[in-house]
């Protein structure tokens, strides 16, 4: 089975211009680090909200049958 033209052109484009490949790798790495930092920074807020929700649940008024 022969390769189609589009993938071959894409590979040739990256092979002939290594800076493009470097930029692509750098972009993916930057995006990954950004998402990781955003997730890590969001953790304390999530923990606080969950703790407040648990406290509110424990202290809720209960109906007696």
Length of the chain: 65
Nearest-Å Rg of the Cα atoms of the chain is 25
User: Is residue 50, in this structure, part of any structural domain at all?
Assistant: yes
Least confident of 14-18, 30-34, 57-61: 14-18
pLDDT band at 43 (very low <50, low <70, confident <90, very high): confident
User: Is residue 31, in this structure, part of any structural domain at all?
Assistant: yes
Does residue 23 sit in helix, strand or coil?
helix
User: Is residue 38, in this structure, part of any structural domain at all?
Assistant: yes
User: Is residue 27, in this structure, part of any structural domain at all?
Assistant: yes
Structural domain including 29 reads 5-58
User: Is residue 35, in this structure, part of any structural domain at all?
Assistant: yes
Whether the predicted model's global pTM rises above the 0.75 cut:
no
Overall domain count for the chain: 1
User: Is residue 54, in this structure, part of any structural domain at all?
Assistant: yes
User: Is residue 63, in this structure, part of any structural domain at all?
Assistant: no
User: Is residue 65, in this structure, part of any structural domain at all?
Assistant: no
């Amino acid at each position: 089975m022969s390769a189609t033209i589009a993938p071959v052109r894409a590979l040739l484009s990256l092979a002939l211009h290594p800076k493009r490949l470097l930029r692509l790798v750098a972009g993916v790495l930057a995006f990954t680090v950004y998402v990781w930092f955003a997730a890590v920074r969001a953790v304390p807020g999530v923990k606080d909200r969950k703790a407040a929700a648990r406290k509110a649940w424990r202290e809720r008024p209960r109906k007696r049958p």
